[in-house]
Chain A
Amino acid sequence: MRLLEFQAKELFGQYGIKTPKGRYSKNIEEAREHAKELGFPFVIKFQAPVGGRGKAGGIQIVKNQDEFELKYPQVAGMTIKGEKARAILLEKMAEYQKEIYLSLFLNRSKRCYTIIASGEGGVEIESVKNQTIREVGLGDVTPQVAEEVAKAIGLSGNSITDFVDMLQRLSKLTVEKEAELAEINPVALQKDGSLLALDGKIVTDDNSNFRHTEMEKYQEKTELEERAEKSGFTLVELEGNVAVVGNGAGLVMSTLDMLIDNGGKAACFLDVGGGATTESVYEALTLISKMKKVKAILVNLYGGIVKTTTVASAFIKAYDDKLIDLPVYARLMGSESEKSKEMLKPTKTKMYDSVEEAISGAVLGVSKNG
């Protein structure tokens, strides 16, 4: 899961990594209390799992109550890269001489963790110059390695000690919470040489969630996404009006790619998993029926082992139960496809021999009715 900044900072706090004093809120009433407690000036920060918040205007300095009353609702009402604010963080400002970049990152192709650090932080990682990179196996960082990195990025004096301490704490967090990425960007190098984490980004391994019940409170899922997960599906909600359903992540991604190439707009990505049964497809249709924006369902199943009639039965049941009244454009690969076509004739499901034809059908159908 990807933690929001204030959540990442909460974890930093638990691991003894220093952050500016801050409070998060879900509404302005709460925030007014925080404002009193913190005292002006401070920054208000838009909290959503996206980068580039500063550029988009999601981070604002407020100097007094009037500015606060004006800017809080502004920032809270923003949509940045399609994401609405999950919370707003009020945070004291720090005075510093320099911004540093620091992260521990799972390098997938090298199959080890790497430290990435630079004396020139504060910009997105792709633009960070003069990166110092060290491979550290499963993520444990020794004081020696941390010190080498500190010196390599040009730190001196007590900043080295502070950096070694911060990096080792970040390493402990990464290992214990099973993070794929733990990033502090920027780290503020303050006038007295001490370090402070001004931002935080943590992405943990979803497959390790079962042994991290303490992290459950950070889980951000829509009701439908949660329900999908319970059925062993993956559901990603999108903005368009054609629900894309299939078995296997690669196949559904490729279907989504082709739909969009052909001018369609996907309402969701729904992977029912490697196999497909009457029950799993019925449950997928149930989830889709709850999405108001959906105008058509595009189904691409490669049932190597599965009979297409098994899947066709799910559509028929869904229409019979009045679960859906939407047109379904389906390409079902597998045995008994002629029989399935016959079965589906009286319904709103159209069967196609190729996914390309099914996509054309869906795009055309939606534009006619839309």
Chain B
Amino acid sequence: MANIYELLRGTKDSSGNYQKMPVIVQGITGTFGSLHAKMMMEYGTNIAAGVTPGKGGQKFEDKVPIFNTVKEAVDATGAKISIVFVPAKFFLGAAKEALEALDAGIKLLVAIPEHVPIRDTMQVLDLAKQKDAIIIGPNTPGVMIPSLIKIGIMPASPFKHGNIAVLSKSGTLLYEISNALTKAGYGQSITIGIGGDPVNGTRLIDAFEMVKDDPDLKGMVVVGEIGGDSEEILAQHIIDTNFKKPIVAYIAGRNAPKEKRMGHAGAIVMGTYGSAESKVSMFNKANIPVGKRPNEVAMLLAGKLESKD
């Protein structure tokens, strides 16, 4: 699989700095897309081109060229990363276009839309597999390496560069917990939003695999929630691979009623499938403490990091 760090920061230049990798914004002229394109640019992300069919030739904020198709945008910029802001019902088309753009195509697609039908996501994932591309989302806040690149809709303020990887199904809990980590002196090496949908392009286990070999990684925080069994599978994988760096977790929805969708399409307990008890007990089995409150997570991590020293 494509390497996420290589995609996000390229290689170091002669003076030891990472490159500013070009990013395409699909749906750059929409209300949501334009707001966040601007905020990503303010953060320092190299927004190299936008795509809006019918608006090719125009410029966004007087400098970013807009193209009618992803293919043209890729041709002009060499971008391998795209962030998609189109409405859910147009996601399938937009994602296909991105993955099929040229032979090279987009290798990292960050899918922001909420309410994408599962069948559409599954079709996009099939194509992504053939093209060896990473899909993050749908219904994700995005991915970022603090201080270097932000591809998503997260506010900048909670995050600070450091050595803790944060993987989260929830957007606002990602901000909340990262903010607490930052305040406690634990910056983040990378944050990956898994998204709240039933089917995720990058599952918790995939995100874990993407970040686990980073030599600078000191610890990991996993923010899960009720629904599905990706937390259980991650915990089992951590046991099986004997991963030793400190990991702490949080699970939202312990007191949620069964058989009700709690805001996220994926946050639903069916019978015992997806229950918080199952997730917490698997994490405990993997020696991963689970916070009862988001604010407890930073403390638990501190405990883990110190006991290691």
Closest 4 CB pairs of A and B: A250-B170, A304-B155, A249-B263, A248-B172
B199 to chain A: closest residue by CB = A111
CB pair B293–A356 under 8 Å, yes or no, is: yes
**Interface flags, B172-215, vs A, CB<8A=1, else 0:** 11111001000000000000000011110001010000000000
**Interface flags, A257-285, vs B, CB<8A=1, else 0:** 11111000010010100100000000000
Task: For chain A, residues 57 to 74, give those with C-beta under 8 angstroms from any C-beta of chain B.
Answer: none
Residue B117 at the chain A interface, CB threshold 8 Å: yes
A residues engaging B (CB < 8 A)?
2, 49-51, 82, 106, 108-109, 111-112, 124-126, 138, 178, 180-181, 203, 205-208, 210-211, 234, 236, 238, 246-254, 256-261, 266, 269, 271, 274, 302, 304-305, 333, 354-356
Task: For chain B, residues 42 to 58, give those with C-beta under 8 angstroms from any C-beta of chain A.
Answer: none
State the CA gap A126–B225 with chains docked (Å).
21
CB pair A271–B263 under 8 Å, yes or no, is: yes
B250 to chain A: closest residue by CB = A254
CB pair B117–A207 under 8 Å, yes or no, is: yes
In the assembled complex, the CB of A174 is this many whole angstroms from the nearest CB of chain B, namely: 10
Given the interface contacts A178-B118, A210-B89, A256-B255, does A249 sit within 8 Å of B264 by beta carbon? yes
Interface hit among B8-16, B19-27, B265-273: B265-273
B170 to chain A: closest residue by CB = A250
The binding surface of chain B is classed by DSSP as: loop
B224 to chain A: closest residue by CB = A250
Q: Contacts of B262 on A, CB cut-off 8 Å?
A: 234, 236, 249, 252-253, 269, 271
23 A-B pairs with C-beta separation under 8 A: A49-B259, A50-B259, A108-B198, A178-B117, A181-B270, A205-B265, A207-B116, A208-B117, A208-B119, A211-B89, A236-B257, A248-B170, A248-B172, A249-B264, A250-B196, A250-B264, A251-B173, A254-B252, A257-B292, A260-B255, A261-B292, A302-B172, A356-B295
State the CA gap A218–B103 with chains docked (Å).
45
**Interface flags, B94-105, vs A, CB<8A=1, else 0:** 000000000000
Q: Contacts of A247 on B, CB cut-off 8 Å?
A: 172
In the assembled complex, the CB of A35 is this many whole angstroms from the nearest CB of chain B, namely: 31
Once A and B bind, how many residue pairs between them come within 8 Å at the CB atom?
161
Interface hit among B68-76, B228-236, B241-249: B228-236
The binding surface of chain A is classed by DSSP as: mixed
Given the interface contacts A205-B118, A207-B118, A248-B171, does A253 sit within 8 Å of B226 by beta carbon? yes
CB pair A250–B259 under 8 Å, yes or no, is: no
Q: Contacts of A181 on B, CB cut-off 8 Å?
A: 270
CB pair A251–B172 under 8 Å, yes or no, is: yes
Task: For chain B, residues 107 to 158, give those with C-beta under 8 angstroms from any C-beta of chain A.
Answer: 115-119, 122-123, 125, 141, 153-155, 157-158
Q: Contacts of B141 on A, CB cut-off 8 Å?
A: 274
Residue B164 at the chain A interface, CB threshold 8 Å: no
CB pair A208–B229 under 8 Å, yes or no, is: no
State the CA gap A257–B263 with chains docked (Å).
14
Q: Contacts of B261 on A, CB cut-off 8 Å?
A: 206, 234, 236
CB pair B198–A106 under 8 Å, yes or no, is: yes
Residue B260 at the chain A interface, CB threshold 8 Å: yes
In the assembled complex, the CB of A356 is this many whole angstroms from the nearest CB of chain B, namely: 7
CB pair A109–B228 under 8 Å, yes or no, is: yes
CB pair B271–A51 under 8 Å, yes or no, is: yes
CB pair A254–B294 under 8 Å, yes or no, is: yes
CB pair A207–B265 under 8 Å, yes or no, is: yes
Residue B162 at the chain A interface, CB threshold 8 Å: no
Q: Contacts of B205 on A, CB cut-off 8 Å?
A: 109
State the CA gap A3–B171 with chains docked (Å).
30
In the assembled complex, the CB of B152 is this many whole angstroms from the nearest CB of chain A, namely: 11
In the assembled complex, the CB of B198 is this many whole angstroms from the nearest CB of chain A, namely: 5
In the assembled complex, the CB of A188 is this many whole angstroms from the nearest CB of chain B, namely: 22
